[in-house]
Amino acid sequence: MDDVRHSLPRHSDKFMPTLRRHIRESGLAYRTEQTYVLWIKRFIHFHKLRHPREIGIAEVEAFLNHLSVDCHCSVNTQKIALNALVYLYKRFLGVDTSNIGFTPARQYRRLPVVYSRTEIQAIVSNLKGVHRLLVELMYGSGLRCAELLSLRVKDIDFGSNNVFVRGGKGNKDRTTILPLALIPALQAQIRQVELLHAQDIENGYGDVYMPDALERKYPSAARSTAWQYLFPASRLGPCPRSGVIRRHHLHHSALGKQIRRAVHAAGVNKPARAHAFRHSFATHLLEVGYDLRTIQELLGHADISTTEIYTHVVNRGGKGVLSPVDRLLPGGSVQESAPGNRSAV
């Protein structure tokens, strides 16, 4: 349950609990809280456990330069660390950070990992049961791994053929397409969830984690089938916030392990990444003619420039530039475009 906020001491004046409380009062996502705390701890350890109030902007610049020069961190990593330290000093400690003289290294475009349709078929054929359905839904709907695992039974709308993504990246809601081919498998999965939930209730459990204050607002909803996770974990466990024994969703590491095994078994010589199925979803939609704006909405990108990256990995087929070598006939001779004339190579 590492995506559920841990409870904090109510009357602690220690630095980290106070910082975490400030982050939560600011309304930032739990993932952001975890990331900021991680980088602030690294910053403090880099400066020999000195309290942030005892050091300042010069030490911030030294740490960021260390990440860039010594650790060879990517530009995005440098920016995340910078954002964490700006939050620490500007918003938490009230220190002016406008004079930070650090500029992240130049950002280079990195193309996403995309599987071809043949490769996806091979990978899926090496998956079984719920893990196969997870990958098919991730590819078929363009979901992020965290969005996929956080789906509740109520988020699948068979009437409108929509998948509702609640609290996605940036804490935004959106809808994406529900693949028609997966409807029977999803209906069967929901029946399995209903049976498992009934068994949990019989054993004295059955409450699921509810986000925000919904548990207080709708006290009976936590035991309803609609709020149960679509892909529940195989075991019960204590909630880190309340200590109540609950069944959370499947852990991302379990899915990642199965994807790595399937990619290796399929003989696909590309990185085995769950996010590659989301990239493949966008790329394959672009290949068959869907416009960027539609794909942007399905993916939940705030800026269309993020979606435009997929134009660089589209399989051009007959619509793109023909390579000179493709004009050569077997045996090395040059294909003639007209009698008596040889095409230039």
User: Please, where are the H alpha helices in 26-142?
Assistant: 30-46, 57-65, 75-86, 117-125, 129-141
Cα-Cα end-to-end distance for the chain: 60
Pairing of strands 174-177, 162-165: antiparallel
Confidence band of 327 (pLDDT split at 50, 70, 90): confident
The number of beta carbons lying within 10 Å of the beta carbon of residue 51 is 9
Whether pTM exceeds 0.95: no
Which DSSP helix (H) or strand (E) runs through 177? strand 174-177
Q: What number is the average pLDDT over the span 58-78? A: 89
Mean of the per-residue pLDDT values for the chain? 88
pLDDT digits (tens, 9 = 90+) for 256-280: 999 999 999 999 999 999 999 999 9
Confidence band of 220 (pLDDT split at 50, 70, 90): confident
Q: Is the pLDDT of residue 339 over 80?
A: no
Residues noted as catalytic: 144, 169, 275, 278, 301, 310
Q: What is the rounded distance in angstroms from the CA atom of residue 271 to the CA atom of residue 267? A: 11
- Give the pLDDT confidence score for residue 321 in this predicted structure: 66
Pair of tokens at residue 342: 């040889």
- Give the pLDDT confidence score for residue 325 in this predicted structure: 76
- Note the maximum CA span of the chain: 91
Q: What number is the average pLDDT over the span 326-341? A: 52
Q: What number is the average pLDDT over the span 178-197? A: 96
Domains and CATH numbers, the chain: 15-92 (1.10.150.130), 111-345 (1.10.443.10)
Q: Tell me the backbone φ, ψ of residue 231, rounded to 5 degrees.
A: -125, 80
State percent of the chain over pLDDT 90.
63
Residue type at 108? Answer: Y
| Paired residues of 246 in beta bridges | 237
In 3D space, the residue among 334, 234, 280 whose CA is nearest the CA of residue 121 turns out to be 280
Apex 326 CA angle, 312 and 290, nearest 5? 30
In terms of pLDDT, which residue wins out, 343 or 162?
162
In 3D space, the residue among 28, 43, 26, 31 whose CA is nearest the CA of residue 2 turns out to be 31
Kindly state the DSSP code that residue 21 receives in the 8-state scheme: H
- Give the pLDDT confidence score for residue 336 in this predicted structure: 45
Q: What number is the average pLDDT over the span 165-182? A: 90
- In this structure, of 7-21, 89-103, 148-162, 308-322, the range with the lowest mean pLDDT score is 308-322
Q: Is the pLDDT of residue 254 over 80?
A: yes
